[in-house]
Amino acid sequence: KQLARDLLFRRFVGLGIAESVPDHSSIWRFRQILEKNGLLTKL
């Protein structure tokens, strides 16, 4: 939700003004992949 309305958050994650914000399930799946491969703790 914050990404959709806050320009500073968008800039922090590298999203431009015209780019769409990923939905919750896309972010969740990415997180699961990181955890599965032991990469989440390295971030």
- Segment 9-23 shows an average pLDDT of 88
Helix (H, G, I), strand (E, B) or coil at 30: helix
The mean pLDDT value for 15-38 works out to 91
In this model, does residue 31 exceed pLDDT 90?
yes
Residue 25 amino acid letter: S
Q: Model's pTM, two decimal places? A: 0.59
Alpha-carbon separation of residue 3 from 6, 37, 40 (angstroms)? 6, 26, 21
- Element (DSSP H or E) covering residue 33: helix 24-36
**Pairwise CA distance, residues 4 & 22, whole Å:** 9
Q: Once rounded to an integer, what is the mean pLDDT over residues 39-43?
A: 86
For residue 10, CA distances in Å to 19, 20, 23, 25, 43 come to 9, 10, 14, 18, 19
